[in-house]
Structures are given as structure tokens and as C-alpha cells.
Amino acid sequence: MKSKLVNKPLEARKASPLLVSLSAVFLGIVAGALLIALIGKNPVTGFDRIIFGALSNVRRVGNTLGMATQLILIGLSVAFAFKTGLFNIGASGQMLMGGITGSILAYYIPLSMPRPLYLLIIIIASALVGALWGFISGFLKAKFNVHEVVSTIMLNWTAYWLVYDWIQRFIVDPTIVVKSKPIETVHTLRADWLTELTGFSTLNYGFFIAIIACVVIWFILEKTTLGFRLKAVGSNRFCAEYAGIKVNRSIMISMAVAGALAGLAGLTYYCGYSNIMEMGKMPNEGFDGIAVALLGNCSPVGVFFSAVFFGILKMGRGSLAATGIPTEIADTIIATIIYFTATNVILANFWNGRFRKSFEKMEEAVGLALKSQGRESVNISDLSKEERKELQKLGKPMLKEQKQKEKNIGKEAK
Amino acid sequence: MSHVIEMIGIRKEFPGIVANDDITLQVEEGEIHAILGENGAGKSTLMSILFGLYRPDRGIIKVRGKEVHITSPNDAFDLGIGMVHQHFQLVHNFTVAENIILGKEGGFVYDIKSASKKIKEISDRYGLSVDPEMVIEEITVGMQQRVEILKMLYRDADILIFDEPTAVLTPQEIDELMQIMRNLAAEGKSIILITHKLDEIKAVAERCTIIRRGKLIDVVDVKSTSAEDMAALMVGRPVSFKVEKSEAMPKDVVLEIRNLNVMNNKKVLGVKDFSLSVRRGEIVGIAGVDGNGQSELVEAISGLRKVESGNIIFNGKDITNASILERNEMGLGHIPEDRQKRGLILSLPLSTNFVVKEFFKEPYSRHGILNNEAIEEYGEKIIDKFDVRSGEGIHSYAGKLSGGNQQKAIIGREIEADPELLIAVQPTRGLDVGAIEFIHKELVKERDNNKAVLLVSFELDEIFNLSDRIAVMNAGRLIDIVYTKDTDEHAVGLMMAGIKKEERSEE
């Protein structure tokens, strides 16, 4: 790819989304530390415990990744919808629908079916049902202009009660009537080699599904005409419409893809991470996914890492209790990070201000250095990076001297 | 002679730009003083400082010789400074009198009768001919503007700022406004007229302060300075007003509109029984005051709005119900009215914006996979050819470009797609003289390349400069189609007000 930058003027650096996200994480951790200190405990022990609980051995790492699996898929679902201008707040419902589909199939498909075929069927089926659930919201928006936030929340509860009924009706555990019958391990996404490798953790094939989904979504968004359409509609539907892109169709496709991802999350959660479905439980992951997407700046790579990070906090919180630090601290850190990511403009402004200041200082120093060499007419933009650095080094003491002089003059004036 | 307003050494900086750099403005009592400058030259900033909307970084303001600190529009009112904004600030279902006393009701029970009387008096004194009992939504735009003027006079303002006052008026209404301004000045009011239209300055102003890129360029005596000289001072180089173009050689019909009816946003007919044809090799201009159905007409042609009845025929095919995509593919190019809403995706790079209508075709993509190399190459081509300037070339976000460059980007995209018919709506709105010249030349080039061009503009100058034929629209109807060479601004102006030639001859 030959991309040439056309006479880009020299200017101060801009804060990247990564820096902003990392700042939010940092501030969240600081806030958590403050809270731990406030209740009279040692913050270092607190974070030590979280890390211990999440990462101290292969089993724990496995569990953290097992937990992160759902978060990656839900985060992707929300991020994909975001990128295409939609707010998918219905990931929980789509997840339930994907989960119940997988669970029912796991219950009824005979164990004799070859496992690869079986896995393929449940993966496709739960993705399709999740897609259908998302599509309904997209359809309502496209045809009747029902805002997706309203319809997805509504569909969350529809899914909730459908699942409530279907567990009883199709897959109930006769001994404990509020749960589904546990799925045989060979019918879950668990794999013996993974389980053994990670000391019997919850890690399962779902993690690979999540990674593949990240790659696929990245590819769709960046490399395909479909992604082009969806992003155009998401960024400015009026311009997209004018350009001849079918806006309504894009909205429906986008919601269906988001739903499919959440449906897969349901499969990995109920038929991998766990092997039962409980009646009357709305999965929290649907909402955590919003935080994951925000922190990950809605990019597939960002979503992956932020999901793993949240996975660490979620798995590590269990070990906090032993130290007398309430486990809610971990949730508070997550919440604080969400606040800071949501106010990312403030963080970006902070960094941009810092960059500008240091840039101005560099300009001044280089200017002074050039002056001392009698090259005042040289434009800073025309210098090479190395030259600039050298001149800056040269000019720094001069700048200090000048500042000192100004200060002295100011003192004398007083 | 005493200066009623003096702004001395005003400087105002915004992040990354010096909007006013040491500008001095002196207005004498009872004069009409024009401030001339291109868009973005700093006229509005200067007036906003005078009106208390911004605080200057440096400089002093004197009103009637006394130094003042104006920190809010209320301070400005108290000093007798009033502003007639470009966009009127009126309550539509209130009467004229109610609008005028709004904020000045005084007491719990207000006396609308004596207020009306006072309004009538002021109106008669300055020849405004406004009826205080009328409801705003029932009166013309020109009269609404006079209500705005009355509002200032009712508050005893004797320094009046007019911000681009003629943008929404027909030529006849402009003449009336000019007369009103003269009356006001004769009665001792001081007037500051902000504009980029030279003929208006020529018509009423005595002196003119010219600003370019935030700096004071000159203060000239209007009578002894030619319009060309003022324009050159404004732009910084000689400019030609007339677009060089040869006689049109129209050929076969490309677009034919037959008895078209289109609803507007209020669900009433915005375009009524409209028929028009545009031929290859000609520019047809649609003249009319903003809001007379032009937008609805264009949206109907481009497929953005449903047609109630009638037909649109494009190159012999009926496209009345064709999709937007089909129309684009048939060769319909469209420079939309609102470049930021429809024309560009501001949050995406230029390279993406350039292929927003073409991305699904080879070589920009194959089997659904984008070919970034081809997309970027195409972007570079448009940037070079149409001189689109931006910080990072094709990688710049469209929203980071100046208005002129955004428009050049859109025009580049539409022309490069080689359309059969190019619809250009307000193609030069808000642009500086240099960009206007460029865009006009490009449109004429399209015509000379044997394409059909349909131009919609609210600027009569632009219509006359470019069009080979002029179709005048009023209240959604076609009033008449005339050859540009057979008509003049006065005649078109009357038609814009809805008066047809035959009706006039009957008078």
C-alpha cells in the first residue's frame, strides 16, 4: 500500500484512543486503591489478591479466559452495533436466546452424533437464533422507526420469559425444578485437552470462537463492502442514503450480526463456561459488554483486551474476600473505569493539552538553538527528526536560562 | 465629526486561529458603514464582540466617545446597540406587536394597545409599513425582517447592525430594505452593514471597512471606489465577476419533469404541477427565494423524496419510482444543498467519501472485498484535479476541511463520476470568492462537455452568471422559464414574488 502523507504540517501529538483507555483504567485502579485505603486496608494487598485470584496458576488463567470469552463476544456485539450507529442494549436477551437454543439442542441431539458435526450445528443454530432476535429490533427500527434501545430492552424481557418457560417445558432438571438438566460434557464446548491443559478450568472452545469472531468482525468492518455500507450508514445515514446505500437494510443486517455475536456468547456461556440454565436469571454480561466495547474503543482488538481485563477483575474479586476487602471493590473499579471511558473527552483534552505544552516548549528550545547558530530563518517543519532532537537538547539549557532571567526581572520589578 | 462607535486594536484568538488581529473600526454618527469580507474573514467575530457575545483579548471599545465594557447583549441594548440577525428571532404564532414587546412587557398586565400605537408611529416614521396586528406566520419574509428592525427601534436603539440582511430577500425586497436603511440613516441612526455583496454596499453605504483573514485591509470611501477595487481588496487579488462562457449548444433532452407534485415536510404539496426539461449542453437555473419548493423538487429528482404524482423521465426512461442507487447508476450526479448533512461523512476520511457512491464497483472492490489501493489512488486523483486542500491529504477526515474544500471535494466526486445530469444546489453557499470562481468554471466545463446541469441557487447573481435558461419557482409552482439573454434581474425578481409576465401586462 503506498499511502503518501501530503505536506502534513508539524504539530503537537494527539491523544490516541489507546492512551485514553489506559488512562481510564489507571484512574479506575487509583479510585479502587483509594477506596481500599479508606476502609483501612492495604491497597497493595487488594490488587495482589485480584491478580492472584485471576492469574496465579494455569487453572486460574484458564478460568479468567473462560470468563472473558462471553465478554469478548458481547463486547464485539455492542461494538459492531456502535460502529454502525446503533446501540445494542439487548445483548442479554440475544444471549439468552442463543443459550437456550444451544441447551435444547444439547438435550435432544443424541450423543451418538459425531462431535464436529454436533458442534457445528449448535454454533450455527445459536448464532442464527441470536441473529433473529437482533434482527427483530433492526426490523422494527427500519420499518416503524422504533428506537433500538426501546425494542432491545423489551426483547430482553421477552427472551427472559420465553427461556423461563422453555426450561420448564423442554429441558428441566427433575431434581431441581428451577434449573435445566446439566448438559453432558461431550455436548458442551469443553474440550478434554483444554480442560486438562488448564487444570480443569472453565476454558472451552468458546474462547477460539471469540478470537475467530474478532478477526471476522475486523475483516468485515475494514475490508469489505458490507462493512463500508454499515459504517457509512452508522456515521451519517443521510449521506449514505444520498449515496444510494439502502439504509434500512443496513440497519437490519447490522442488528442481526450484533445479535448473532451475542447469541454465540450465550452458547459459550451456557453450554461451555457453565452447563446449566437457571430460570429467572438475566445475564449481567449483556450490560458488561457495553463497558467492554467502550473501553475497547469499539475496535475488535480493543474489545479483546478490554474483555480479558474485565475478566481478570471479575475472576480476581473472589479472592478479595479472604483479606476482608469487600468484593464489591472490584465492581467499583469496573464502574469507575466505565465512568472515565464515558467521559473520554476530558481525558483526551488533558493529554492533548500536555502534548501541546511540551510541543510549544520544544518549538521554543529549537528556536533558541537555531538563533544561537544564526539560523533563525529555518522553518522547524523542514528539519529532520534527528536534527530537531539535537537542537532541542542544545536549546533546553538556553530556555531555562531565559526563563530564570525573566523570573529575576520579575522579582526586581516587584 | 464624532465617532458613535470606535473599536480600537481589537484582537480575538480562537484555538489555532486569530479571528481578529488588531482591527480598528470607526463608525460616524448617521452613516451607513459597511464591513466587507469573505466568509471567515472575521466580520461576525468583530460584531459579536461589539454585541457582547465574545470578549476581546485586546483592544478597547468606545461608544459615543466613552470607553465601555460590553459583556452581554443586554449591555449592548443598554448602550443603544441593536442587531438584526440573519436568522430572525420571532415567535411565529404571535402578532407583530406581541413579538416586538416580548421581553419588554413591563409589569404583570401589559398594555398591547399603546404598544401597538407606538409601533405604528415608528413604522410610519421610517416607512416600514408594518401592521402591528398581523400574525408573523402570515406575513412575508421581507416584512418579518422589518419586524426585526422595528424591535430594535422600539427599544430605542440608534446603532443598528445588519448581519447579511439580504440573504433571504427577493430583489424587490432588497430594494425596499435599502430604502429603509437610507431612511434610518437620514433620521440620525448609525448603521453597520455586514455583507459580502458589493452591489449592496455600492447602493447604500458611505464608507466601507474591508477585512481579510482577520486583518484590517482598508477603509474606503464607497462612492470613489469601484466594485472591482473593493473586491480585489477583499480577496487580495483581482477577481472576475463574470463567468467566461460561450453560447449554449443544447442538444437532446436528458431530464424531463412532467406535472410533478411532491409533498413537503409539513405534508402539504411543496411542488405543484411542475414541468421542466433540461437538455444536454445547457445550464438551467432555478431561481426563487429559499423555501419555495426547490429542495423538495431536487429531492424528488434524486430519489430522496417520494413523488405524489407526475413523472420524471431521465434519458428516456421513467425514473419516478426508481431507487436512489438506480438513479446514481444511470448517471445522475447531485451536489446536495447541505454539504455536511448529505454531502459528506464528516467522521470518515476523504478517501472513503470519494468512493461513497462507487465502492461496490471494480476496481474499488471485487467480490465484496475492498481494494484500498485503488480507492486511495482514486482519491489522490480527485484531490490533485480539484485542488482539495487538507492537512493529511486523502487520509484527512472530511470534517476537518474548510467549507470551501469540503465543497470542492463533493464537486470533485460528482464530476469525476462523469454524470449525464449534474444537479447543483447552492453550490457556492458560504464560500469565498476564489472558491466560487473555481466552482462556477467547473459547472460551465460540465456543460461544455455536453452534460446537462440543473442549478438551484438563491443568489440571483449566480443564476444569471451561469444559467442559459432560468426557471422561476414560487410557492412550489413554475412561474415561467425564460432565456437568460432575454430577461433581467428585475423581471426575474417579480416572478420570484409570484407575478407572471402576462399578469403584469394586464395591470
Residue B78's CATH number = 3.40.50.300
pLDDT for A377 equals: 73
Question: What average pLDDT score do residues B234-241 get?
Answer: 78
- Residue B507: is its pLDDT beyond 50? no
Domain termination site, one of A305, A323, A342:
A342
Q: Radius of gyration over alpha carbons of chain B, in Å? A: 25
Same domain, B20 and B145: yes
Query: Which chain A residues are closer than 8 Å to B346 by Cβ?
Result: 235-236
Same domain, A137 and A264: yes
pLDDT for B128 equals: 83
The chain A residue lying nearest B343, using CA atoms, is A239
Residue of higher predicted confidence among A137 and B459: A137
d(CA B241, CA B230) in angstroms, rounded, equals 12
Question: What average pLDDT score do residues A334-362 get?
Answer: 84
Query: Which chain A residues are closer than 8 Å to B345 by Cβ?
Result: 232, 235-236, 239-240
pLDDT for A2 equals: 36
Same domain, A266 and A131: yes
Q: Is B481 within a domain?
A: yes
Q: Is the ipTM of this complex over 0.85?
A: no
B interface with A, Cβ–Cβ < 8 A, is 302, 304, 323-325, 327-329, 334, 336, 341-348, 352, 356-357, 359-360, 365, 368-370, 372-373, 376, 380, 383, 390-395
pLDDT for A362 equals: 83
Same domain, B198 and B105: yes
Per-residue pLDDT band for B1 (boundaries 50, 70, 90) equals low
Look at residue B370 and give its three-state secondary structure.
strand
pLDDT for A8 equals: 44
Contact yes or no for A244 and B336 at CB 8 A: no
- Residue B506: is its pLDDT beyond 60? no
Same domain, B66 and B143: yes
**Percentage of chain B modeled with pLDDT above 70:** 97
Question: What average pLDDT score do residues B427-440 get?
Answer: 82
Q: Is B339 within a domain?
A: no
pLDDT for B473 equals: 94
Same domain, B169 and B255: no
- The pLDDT tens digits of the residues spanning B164-186 come to 888 778 888 888 899 999 999 99
Of B328, B344, B393, the CB nearest to A6: B393
Average pLDDT over chain A reads 89
Same domain, A319 and A357: no
d(CA A94, CA A138) in angstroms, rounded, equals 13
Do residues A395 and A364 touch, judged by C-beta distance below 8 A?
yes
- The pLDDT tens digits of the residues spanning B140-154 come to 888 888 899 998 888
Q: Is B336 within a domain?
A: no
Q: Is A215 within a domain?
A: yes
**Percentage of chain A modeled with pLDDT above 70:** 96
Same domain, B11 and B88: yes
Question: What average pLDDT score do residues B194-213 get?
Answer: 89
User: What is the extent of the structural domain holding A366?
Assistant: 351-413
d(CA B196, CA B459) in angstroms, rounded, equals 12
- The pLDDT tens digits of the residues spanning B253-272 come to 999 999 999 998 888 999 99
Question: What average pLDDT score do residues B464-475 get?
Answer: 94
- Residue A74: is its pLDDT beyond 90? yes
Contact yes or no for B368 and A224 at CB 8 A: yes
Of A2, A225, A244, the CB nearest to B324: A244
Residue A188's CATH number = 1.10.3470
A/B interface, count of CB pairs below 8 Å: 88
Same domain, A205 and A71: yes
Same domain, A139 and A281: yes
Of A224, A235, A244, the CB nearest to B345: A235
d(CA B141, CA B87) in angstroms, rounded, equals 11
Of A3, A238, A240, the CB nearest to B376: A3
Same domain, B410 and B447: no
Contact yes or no for B369 and A223 at CB 8 A: yes
Contact yes or no for A238 and B370 at CB 8 A: no
Look at residue B376 and give its three-state secondary structure.
helix
Question: What average pLDDT score do residues B74-93 get?
Answer: 87
Cβ neighbours of A385 (radius 10 Å):
7
- The pLDDT tens digits of the residues spanning A175-205 come to 888 899 999 999 999 999 999 999 899 999 9
Domain termination site, one of A315, A342, A369:
A342
Same domain, A217 and A288: yes
